[in-house]
């Protein structure tokens, strides 16, 4: 499991991308495009979180949007007129992240010790239930405000400046994305990262090696949930509103597709996936109805012909399992 040092080419490529990302708003033809770019950055961060769960630890979570929704709503609870709480951005964020991570642990604890297939179904159910709860918890006590959602959420105020305009958000999300990428990179090459890889390859062998697989999987789950919570808070503060419809099952599939397209485990791949998934519908506006159809087909085809995704992560194993 050696990590090859980044080649000169890879570093150069990364630098070029970074520069391109930084100057994008200046080159963009209009604000709408900047908005799309902001969306891409946000979803890339979200997808990185799922990548920790699916790509690093090999746990198939298909209800990931639940954590996204929980994060968004938690932020809406503490930074809007809904409950009358208006925490400043930097104080609300850690609360939201922690809260979402807690949910991750709650849902993961009973189910992670079971097989991967079970986890998939349970996360699917969890995603469905979360949506139902968001939609219906306006009776008997109004927690989520039901289908009307929560609006007039406070925009983030950093160092006295209230954020407004897609460009400001774009740079904020870009910074967050950079931090997320750095964090994932560190995780990947840390002890827990190796543990995850071992578990992903062969859980039984990992356990035999002395890895506490249940704890490691729970950590992956919680970290993934944290990322989603963070992204959710960002979404809420950007859109200044949250609705249950933002967090349907199809969103889970979108994010999953981002992770898979790029190649599970590959950080660059995940970002690429986010670009593809978010930008493509913009390009093919008319074919919106066919989007999911193509998704489904693509997932099947990808698995058959190119299960490693479009970009293969560096420390991937070579042995095909029997």
Partner 1 sequence: MLELTDVVAGYGPLQVLRRVSLGVQAGEIVCLLGGNAAGKSTTLKTVLGLVRPRAGSVALQGERIDGLATEDIVRRGIALVPESRRIFARMTVWENLEMGAYSRRQTAPAEIEEDRERVYGLFPRLKERATQHAGTMSGGEQQMLAIGRALMARPRLMLLDEPSMGLAPVLVEQVFDIIQAINRQGTTILVVEQNAAVALSIAHRGYVLQDGRIVMHGAAKELLDADDIRRAYLGED
Partner 2 sequence: MDALGILPQQLVFGLALGAIYGLIALGYTMVYGILLMINFAHGELFMIGAYVGWAVLVWLINAGFGGLHPVWVVPVMLLMAMSLSGLLGMTLERFAYRPLYTRGATRLGPLISAVGASIFLQNAVMLTMGARMKVYMTSVLFPRSWYVQVGSVRVSVLVLMMISVALLLMWLLNVLVQRTTLGRCMRAVAEDREVAAVMGVNVRRVIAVTFLLGSALGGAAGVLVGLYYTQIDFFMGYSAGLKAFTAAVLGGIGNLKGAMVGGLVLGVIESLAVTFLNPAYRDVVAFVVLILVLVFRPTGLLGETVPQTNKV
Say if residue 276 is exposed, middle or buried (CB neighbours under 10 Å; 0-12, 13-18, 19+).
Answer: middle
126 counts as binding partner 2 under rule CB under 8 A? yes
* Interface residue with partner 2, options 33, 124, 163, 310 (CB under 8 A): 124
Closest CA to 156 of 178, 134, 171, 146: 171
286 counts as binding partner 2 under rule CB under 8 A? no
Phi then psi dihedrals of residue 141, to 5 deg: -110, 140
Given partner 1, partner 2, none, residue 318, with its beta carbon under 5 to 8 Å by kind, binds partner 1
CB-based contact 274:316 (threshold 8 Å): no
3-state SS, one letter per residue, for 111-137: HCCCCHHHHHHHHHHHHHHHHHHHHHC
Using CA atoms, how far apart are residues 289 and 281, in angstroms rounded to an integer? 10
* Interface residue with partner 2, options 84, 117, 160, 283 (CB under 8 A): 117
* Interface residue with partner 2, options 4, 27, 141, 320 (CB under 8 A): 320
CB of 71 to partner 2, least distance (A): 21
Q: Which two tokens stand for residue 219?
A: 């950590």
Given partner 2, partner 1, none, residue 286, with its beta carbon under 5 to 8 Å by kind, binds none
Q: Which residue's CB is nearer to partner 2, number 216 or number 260? A: 260
Site for partner 1 in 283-322 (CB under 8 A): 318-322
Q: Which residue's CB is nearer to partner 2, number 4 or number 304? A: 304
Q: Which residue's CB is nearer to partner 1, number 164 or number 317? A: 317
Given partner 2, partner 1, none, residue 24, with its beta carbon under 5 to 8 Å by kind, binds none
The helix (run of H) or strand (run of E) holding residue 24 is: helix 8-27
Site for partner 2 in 169-208 (CB under 8 A): 200
Q: Which stretch binds partner 2 (CB under 8 A): 20-28, 69-77, 92-100, 122-130?
A: 122-130
Phi then psi dihedrals of residue 158, to 5 deg: -110, 125
Using CA atoms, how far apart are residues 106 and 302, in angstroms rounded to an integer? 33
Q: What share of the chain is helix, strand, coil (3-state, %, to 5)?
A: 70, 5, 25
Site for partner 2 in 2-31 (CB under 8 A): none
Q: Which residue's CB is nearer to partner 2, number 14 or number 287? A: 287
* Interface residue with partner 2, options 178, 299, 312, 316 (CB under 8 A): 299
270 counts as binding partner 2 under rule CB under 8 A? no
3-state secondary structure of 260: helix
Contact residues for partner 1 (CB under 8 A)?
318-322
């Amino acid at each position: 499991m050696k990590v090859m040092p980044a080649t000169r080419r890879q570093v150069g490529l990364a630098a070029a991308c970074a520069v391109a990302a930084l100057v994008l708003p200046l080159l963009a033809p209009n604000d709408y495009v900047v908005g799309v770019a902001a969306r891409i950055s946000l979803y890339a961060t979200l997808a990185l979180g799922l990548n920790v769960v699916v790509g690093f630890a090999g746990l198939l979570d298909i209800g990931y949007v639940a954590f996204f929704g929980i994060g968004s709503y938690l932020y809406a609870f503490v930074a809007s007129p809904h409950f009358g709480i208006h925490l400043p951005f930097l104080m609300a964020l850690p609360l939201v992240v922690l809260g979402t991570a807690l949910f991750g642990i709650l849902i993961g604890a009973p189910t992670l010790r079971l097989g991967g297939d079970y986890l998939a179904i349970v996360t699917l159910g969890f995603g469905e239930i979360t949506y139902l709860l968001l939609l219906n918890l306006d009776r008997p006590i109004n927690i989520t405000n039901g289908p009307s959602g929560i609006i007039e959420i406070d925009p983030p105020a950093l160092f006295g400046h209230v954020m407004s305009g897609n460009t400001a958000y774009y740079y904020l999300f870009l910074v967050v994305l950079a931090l997320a990428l750095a964090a994932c990179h560190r995780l990947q090459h840390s002890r827990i990262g190796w543990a995850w890889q071992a578990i992903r390859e062969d859980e039984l062998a990992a356990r035999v090696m002395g890895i506490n697989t249940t704890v490691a999987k729970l950590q992956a789950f919680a970290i993934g949930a944290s990322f989603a919570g963070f992204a959710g808070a960002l979404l809420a503060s950007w859109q200044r509103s949250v609705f249950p419809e933002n967090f349907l099952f199809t969103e889970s599939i979108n994010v999953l597709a981002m992770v898979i397209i790029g190649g599970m485990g590959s950080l660059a791949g995940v970002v690429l996936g986010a670009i593809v998934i978010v930008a493509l519908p913009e390009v093919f506006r008319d074919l919106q109805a066919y989007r999911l159809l193509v998704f489904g087909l693509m997932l099947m085809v990808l698995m058959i012909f190119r299960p490693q995704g479009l970009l293969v992560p560096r420390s991937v194993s070579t042995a095909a399992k029997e």
